Every structure is written in C-alpha cells, then in structure tokens.
Amino acid sequence: MDIHLADGSAFEIFEHIHITCPIIFATTYEGYALRAFKANSIDYLLKPICKEDVEHAFEKLESLQNSPFKNKDDSQTHDNELPQLIHSL
C-alpha cells in the first residue's frame, strides 16, 4: 500500500477501518516507518522498489504465516507459547 494516496494518507484509512491483515507499505517518504509498523506492517519499502526487496517482504510474510506460535484463528500468539517465543529470541 502506498502511504501517500491521491485523496490523502493511507493512515487516514486506518482511523476509520480496523485492518487485521498484514500490510507491505511502499513510499518515497522515510518518515512514516514507525507509524507504518504500528499499523500491522510486514515491511516498509522505499521507492524505487527493487525486485529483491519485494521478494524479501513476501518471504517475511510467508514466514510469519507459517509460524508455530500462531493461534488457530490467525489473530494472536497463544499465551502459553509466549515464554517459549521470548526464550527463542
């Protein structure tokens, strides 16, 4: 998702709609990275975007989707698995 849209900022969308799916942001602006990660971002790609950056972002998404720490409903980590996750870091 591009951060600067023709009719405003992508973040304005998030003020009205709760987004639960992962997002890969693309922008020419470096200053929105922290805000993007607070908005369920998987990656933050700076334009011009190269193929390798896109591939890496999708590999990251796939890795997170295949995580053994996911809840069955895909929304949250199991509370009893959180200590194991922290320990593995």
d(CA 57, CA 45): 8
pTM, full prediction: 0.60
77 pLDDT higher than 70 = no
Return the SS3 of 87: helix
* pLDDT tens figures, 38-72: 777 889 899 999 999 999 999 999 998 887 766 55
26 pLDDT higher than 70 = yes
* 49 or 36, greater pLDDT: 49
| Pairing relationship of beta strands 8-9 and 4-5 according to DSSP bridges | antiparallel
Residues 6+ apart with CB under 8 A from 36: 3, 23, 25, 44
